[in-house]
Amino acid sequence: MQLLDRSFDVSTVPVAGATLSAEALRGVEQFLYREARLLDERRFAEWLALWTEDGRYWVPRFHDQANPFEQISLFWEDKMLREVRVRRVENARNWSQQPLTRSAHLVGNITIEGLDAAGHLIVRSTLQLTEWRIEQRQLAGAVFHKLAATDDGGWKIVLKRVNLVNCDDVFANLEVFI
């Protein structure tokens, strides 16, 4: 099973530096803003297309959690699990989405951290998320994206790690993606 593949590099510590032109940096920023907008507008099919085939979505349960294999995580999802969750969230009979979850992602403090061992770009940003369904809640944290360059000059997500400030809190349903 892909999720148990310990060879998948979950580290967000760069092994090499990365220098981007102002134009390339702007492209990375626009990519992160577009991802947030797709989530806010519930355009999940387009959001799923932002990922590499082996991309992983990870929300650790503990501060400074080293990996998703030795401790439980709030989310540790591959392509299949992301697709299943999208189908469930979009299903008209899904009681936990009546009313629908609404969200507003605020992405900021975008910095280029460097490159991982495979040459993927490591980008750190901060996130403030307001979410409403029956009541409003706030989530915040540091987000690490590992991005793979595409042939057309764009980006695909290899890893998205969301380090929530309150990761050790008790949460009601976390239905939609952070």
Q: Which domains does the chain have, with CATH numbers?
A: 22-164 (3.10.450.50)
What's the pLDDT score for residue 22? 96
Place of tokens 């990375």: 28
pTM over 0.95: no
pLDDT tens-digit profile, the chain (178 residues): 577 788 899 999 999 999 999 999 999 999 999 999 999 999 999 999 999 999 999 999 999 999 999 999 999 999 999 999 899 887 777 666 667 778 899 999 999 999 999 999 999 999 999 988 777 889 999 999 999 999 999 999 999 999 999 988 877 777 778 8
* Distance from C-alpha of 103 to C-alpha of 62, rounded to nearest angstrom: 24
Please name the amino acid found at residue 105: H
Q: What is the DSSP letter of 122?
A: E
